[in-house]
Amino acid sequence: MHASKETLYRAPPWLPGGHLQTIYSSLFIRVAPVACRRERLELADGDFLDFDWVDGHAGSPVVVLFHGLEGSADSHYARGLMARVRAHGWHGATAHFRGCSGEDNRLPRAYFAGDSEDIGCILRHVKARHAEVPVYAVGISLGGNALLKWLGEQGAAAHPLVERAAAVSAPLDLAAAGRTLDRGFNRRVYTARFLATLKAKALHKATRFPGLLDAQAIAATTTFREFDTLVTARLHGFRDADDYWLKASSKPLLKSVSVPTLVINARNDPFLPASALPAPADVSPSITLEQPGAGGHVAFPSGPFPGNLDWLPRRLMQHFDIRRR
């Protein structure tokens, strides 16, 4: 399945290339914050998850957003989508992964790209709050991979919780993404930026839980491979980064997805090479692949200079708003 000409993304001529589209959109295009209501869900394992809700009209659908690595309700894509959800009069929820809502989570474990158990927990909670209306799920980057993994694992069993889904710039092949991010410009710019906060969180966990992590080795890491071996794998039961990347990738499960799902990946995304993207033969008939030539990583800027980030939330809501079909 392919996008129509009306929906296919096209980059503005004044902002060429995946790096420029990614960096400019993240750092220089401002998206206004959206007023939200915070809800805390206490978990059976003693931890908690925080939701930021946009309350819509009674009987309207719910859009739940799973953010990317080190993201939150304040991420530009979350603000943009929730503003569009509010304008529709719908309900929206940004579901924060553990430790991403501005407060440390309580347990040694954190969150990771294959955390389908927490995806299911979040969706069950949202559906319990809004049992009589459609629930639509969006995963961005890391959150997109985790959502797709859950959808693939559940197959037809996902339907009672989610009516439609979407994943944007998901690192569907974590090994390919990890290798790409650990090289050259990517390593110096993107990986270094992510590791600044990831390492700080991990070092704090090392202090809170003595003997769990090697703080000295973590402080010296400069690659995702090192960090995922020392921290992500250690906290979540994987042997090392390679084992984690293999077992947490969603790409092998895409043939099992049963919920109608839109999967958007720019072919110039600096985080994942186009050669790693799935072809139609690699996915189930329920998946619509959109792989525009441009767009960067969770960017998709549009409009005349200085640009806006309206295309992505508009495209996602179009996918969800079946009344307009």
Q: Give the pLDDT band (50/70/90) at residue 322.
A: confident
Q: Is the pLDDT of residue 262 over 70?
A: yes
Q: Give the pLDDT band (50/70/90) at residue 6.
A: low
Q: How far is residue 201's CA from residue 14's CA, in Å, rounded to a whole number?
A: 38
Please tell me which residue, 5 or 70, carries the higher pLDDT value: 70
Q: What is the pLDDT of residues 295-318, one digit of tens each?
A: 999 999 999 999 999 999 999 999
Provide the pLDDT for residue 324.
54
**Residues with active-site annotation:** 141, 269, 297
Query: Does the pTM of the predicted model rise above 0.95?
Result: yes
**CATH number for the domain including 66?**
3.40.50.1820
Domain membership of residue 9 (yes or no) is no
The answer on 311 and 241 residing in a single domain is: no
Q: How far is residue 46's CA from residue 106's CA, in Å, rounded to a whole number?
A: 7
The answer on 282 and 242 residing in a single domain is: no
Range of the domain at 87: 18-172+253-324
Residues of the chain above pLDDT 70, percent: 97
- What would the mean pLDDT of 250-275 be, rounded to a whole number? 98
The answer on 158 and 54 residing in a single domain is: yes
Q: How far is residue 217's CA from residue 201's CA, in Å, rounded to a whole number?
A: 14
Main-chain phi, psi angles of 167, to 5 degrees: -130, 135
DSSP for 74-114, please give it: TSHHHHHHHHHHHHHT-EEEEEPPTT-SSS--SSS----TT
Residues of the chain above pLDDT 90, percent: 96
Domain membership of residue 8 (yes or no) is no
Q: What is the pLDDT of residues 197-244, one digit of tens each?
A: 999 999 999 999 999 999 999 999 999 999 999 999 999 999 999 999
The answer on 93 and 110 residing in a single domain is: yes
Looking at 248, 272, 287, which one is the last position of a domain? 248
The answer on 118 and 67 residing in a single domain is: yes
Q: What is the pLDDT of residues 179-210, one digit of tens each?
A: 999 999 999 999 999 999 999 999 999 999 99
* Helix (H) / strand (E) containing 238: none
The answer on 189 and 119 residing in a single domain is: no
Which residue type sits at 24? Y
* Helix (H) / strand (E) containing 175: helix 174-181
Looking at 230, 248, 266, which one is the last position of a domain? 248
The answer on 190 and 213 residing in a single domain is: yes
Token digits of residue 218: 């973590």
Q: How far is residue 265's CA from residue 263's CA, in Å, rounded to a whole number?
A: 7
